[in-house]
Amino acid sequence: MSPPDLPQRARVVVIGGGIIGCSVAYHLAHMGEKDVVVLERDRLTSGTTWHAAGLMVCFGSTSETSTEMRLYTRDLYSRLEAETGQSTGFAPIGFIEVAADRDRLEEYRRVSAFNRHCGVDVHEISAREVKELFPLARTDDILAGFYVKEDGRVNPVDVTMALAKGARMQGARVIEGVPVTGVTTRRGAVTGVDTAYGHIEAEVVVNCAGMWARQLAARAGVNAPLQSAEHYYLITDTIPGLSSQWPVLEDPGSYGYFREEGGGLMIGLFEPVCAPWKVEGVPEDFSFGTLPPDWDRMGPYLEQAMSRVPVSVDTGVKLFFCGPESFTPDLAPVVGEAPELKNYFVAAGLNSIGILTGGGLGRVLAHWILTGRPDVDVTYMNIDRLHRYQSNPEYRATRTVESLGMVYRCHYPTRSLLTARGAKTSAFHDRLAARGAYFRDVSGWEGADWYAPQVDRQPDGQLVPPDPGPLSWGRQAWFPHWAAEHRAAREGVVIMDMSFMAKFLVQGRDAARLLETLSANRVAAKPGRITYTQWLNEDGKLEADLTVIKFDDERFMVVASDTAHRHVETWMRRHIAADAHVFVTDVTSGYAQLNVQGPRSRELLSAVTSRDMSNAGFPFRSVAEIDIGYARVICVRITYLGELGYELYIPTEQATHVYDRVVAAGEPLGLRHAGLKALASLRMEKAYRDYGHDIDNTDTVLEAGLGFAVRLKKKGGFIGRDAVLAQKQQGPLRKQLVQILVEDPEPMMFHAELVLRDGVVLGYIRAASYGHTLGGAVGLAMIEAEVPIDQAFLDAGTWEVEIADRRYPARASLAPLYDPTMTRVKA
């Protein structure tokens, strides 16, 4: 057989001919980029696409991005045949999600309200109606079903072929039988791909290699931590009366989904404890492959699933299929430009939703490649959220056992993953554990979430971890402990371990110039000051929300959240000019961070240092190196809680020494340890923003309510200045972030609850907590109106929040509802 005819160069090379790779190529070509080549090592769909179950479901996500990608995908699959002449097998037979317990019912009512807002026509139906739509289902225990008439199924192979044909029709090339062996690079950017048949020059490379994506990325020094796991479905013999027109039925409580297949019933499974496959690496020659099913391990899960459709128990088995599918550490996709290598994009790790989001993801990535920026919120799935240690074999093997099972668990907002824990601990960890800390995963760090008032030990002296009690959508067992920590911060003094915050030293002759170019605020004025600022892109939209400390003219420290760690570092490094004298050093591990916050924090610090901590001697936003015991500590007067407070950056080797001194001095003052639950509720009362949660890359700095931190007239300008100025000149905003307080003290808000003014939905809660001081659930919502949004507009309306199936009266405010004049912060 003659070798394939490869082009010498292409603008974009897409690696992988599954659903994602073909979708990326299709959308690039449709957006005008004709010079696209797709390279498939074997034949199209030969990895995992060919054995996908083919569900096309829009219901289920509280991510606006994911929901919009699903809706776009469904629409694309419905019209591809008319465009290409190639069938996709799309059948809008409908979809039903059932809830057989109260917590699932609560979750799906919350989800369905949000999905309706996003355009999914979902209806809550009774158990009787579920039975009418899927007569073979057992419905005696079902509390409700959630029905989307327009959803259904597709044929994964056919839809991939349609996308590939559509890409070819627009000028792209799709070449099978060409394994990619690696990429070539120059000065930190990709320059082409090497294949078994030669080299292709390229400006952009897109890794859509599915379960091989991690291995392929690693050859280029790119981190893409995903892991294959066994994934199962069973197909029964023919069942009389079963119709191909019945909707897809999904029952996560029974671990299964059900639909007709060839006259029999397909029963798909997501077991709570899964089995990783080929942790050492997926074989390069594995194509259209299956795995031997583990009947013993899967038996109990299969029995539970079959109980939802009892006739399946007595029906013969035509096929018990097991094939590999890749999953990620946090069950979100791995998408975006690699922080390690410019113009190297990854789109992989779809966690079993590759078919139902494939069209939308291809559109998002194509737009990102061609414009340099995504046009949807990508903070939750951006590849730069992930860290290199997550690619370790032991980490992948351990975490994957849990992550696949998370697909069908009830998605409680306070759930924390339990596997692969202890990967990163702060210097304070053991001392906090001895104080009753309950830890949760914070970007891999062990973060103290709340503290139990009593610490128990086993007879041998070992600590007994606090019992969080059962998960729920309401107030959990630790709610009173959280409330007490919150009150202590408002009334006395607390300490918090914030060592997980990302910290970078930025040094050199041109350090100030770099940071002023990146920062919308003035960050390089006086030494010994900290400045809150945003980093923007050319559209005036947010890339980062952080603080910059100026020690002197050539030495700064940038402090960002844990989730923004690699994004901030990459943004800095990619904006350093070739001839600039700037050095960026990640010192996150070098400094433990202990925050001392509350009205008595000054009193506490005055007791442990010789430094003058008075308001005159150490005013708000001051930075200085102070003495505490035998240690030298960077002390910053700043707060994320809305009170007088300080952040201590302590050399890690002196961290426990400083901690012990602070705790000893604080005991006479009633010092209390506070966790991340208190951090969330305190900052939310003050309406402090959190990038990646309540603000993201789709928001302008003005819409986010952060115009006070922008210096439009500063010398030299900054990235995004022109866009900010242009938006400002357009007049009052009709889209703004607003603080919402529920007036009833009982309900809880978390995320995605709808916000209504005079009965009309204007937006949804992006992030929320419980305001123990304000007396109710409080959150931040981005709202849009047809008229300018100011406080008069807010006051003139009647506001409500829809939580599950009820609406509650609420208040809306542009200014923080707690201490709007900053009196307490600057005390």
Model confidence at 325: pLDDT above 70: yes
The secondary structure of 622-638, three-state, reads EEEEEEECCEEEEEECC
Provide DSSP, 589-618.
GGEEEEEEESTTHHHHHHTT-SS--STTTS
Q: How many CA atoms lie within 13 A of 201 on its CB side?
A: 3
pLDDT at 427: 98
* Residue 310 confidence (pLDDT) above 80: yes
pLDDT on residue 792: 98
CATH for 432-451+675-699+732-827 is: 3.30.1360.120
Residue 223 and residue 388 in contact, taking contact as beta carbons nearer than 8 Å: yes
Residue 332, SS3? coil
Measure the CA–CA gap between 355 and 155, rounded to whole angstroms.
9
Q: 316-325, 372-381, 456-465, 586-595: which range is least confident on average?
A: 456-465
- Domains of the chain: which residue ranges? 1-90+150-226+329-386, 432-451+675-699+732-827, 487-500+591-659, 509-581+703-730
Q: What is the mean pLDDT of residues 82-108?
A: 98
DSSP H or E segment with residue 266: strand 264-269
What confidence tier does 461 reach under pLDDT thresholds 50, 70, 90?
confident
Identify the bridge partners of residue 560 per DSSP, sorted by sequence position.
Answer: 502
Quick: pLDDT tens for 602-617: 999 999 999 999 999 9
HSE (side-chain half, CA atoms, 13 Å) at 747: 24
Burial of 498: CB neighbours in 10 Å, binned 0-12, 13-18, 19+: buried
**Nearest CA-CA partner of 624 in 692, 512, 530:** 530
Mean local confidence (pLDDT), 425-454: 97
- What tens digit of pLDDT does each residue of 208-226 get? 999 999 999 999 999 999 9
Query: Which amino acid is residue 283, in one-letter code?
Result: P
The DSSP string of 11-62 is EEEEE--SHHHHHHHHHHHHTT---EEEEESSSTTTTTGGG---EE---S--
How many Å apart are CA 612 and CA 594, to the nearest integer?
19
Instruction: Kindly report, residue by residue over 110-147, the tens digit of the pLDDT.
Output: 999 999 999 999 999 999 999 999 999 999 999 999 99
In total, the chain counts a number of residues equal to 827
Q: Quick count: other Cβ atoms within 10 Å of Cβ 611? A: 17
As a whole number, the mean pLDDT across the chain is: 97
* Homologous superfamily in CATH for domain 509-581+703-730: Aminomethyltransferase beta-barrel domains (3.30.70.1400)
Q: Are 51 and 323 in contact, with CB atoms under 8 Å apart? A: yes
pLDDT band at residue 3 under the 50/70/90 scheme: confident
CB atoms within 10 A of CB 682: 29
Residue listed under structure tokens 């004025």: 525
User: Residues with Cβ < 8 Å from 123, sequence gap 6 or more?
Assistant: 146, 147, 148, 149
The mean pLDDT value for 408-427 works out to 96
User: Does this chain's domain 432-451+675-699+732-827 share its CATH topology with 509-581+703-730?
Assistant: no
Residue 1 is predicted with a pLDDT of: 64
The yes or no reply on domain 1-90+150-226+329-386 and CATH 3.90.1170.50 is no
Answer for the pair 362, 23: CB distance below 8 angstroms, yes or no: yes
Q: Which residues contact 100 (CB under 8 A, 6 or more apart)?
A: 141, 142, 143, 251, 253, 254
Query: Residue 2: what pLDDT?
Result: 78
Q: What is the pLDDT of residues 231-261, one digit of tens each?
A: 999 999 999 999 999 999 999 999 999 999 9
Q: Tell me: the pLDDT tens digits for 705-754?
A: 999 999 999 999 999 999 999 999 999 999 999 999 999 999 999 999 99
Q: Averaged over 634-663, what is the pLDDT? A: 98
- Decide yes or no: CATH 3.40.50.2300 for domain 487-500+591-659: no
CA pair distance 224, 392, nearest whole angstrom: 11
pLDDT value at residue 402: 93
Sheet strands side by side (includes 494-497): 623-628, 631-636, 645-651, 591-597, 494-497, 672-673
User: Among residues 204, 168, 194, which one has the least CA distance to residue 34?
Assistant: 168
Task: Give pLDDT tens digits for 563-576.
Answer: 999 999 999 999 99
Q: Average pLDDT in the 766-772 region?
A: 98
For 150-182, how does the pLDDT look when each residue is reduced to its tens digit (9 = 90+)? 999 999 999 999 999 999 999 999 999 999 999
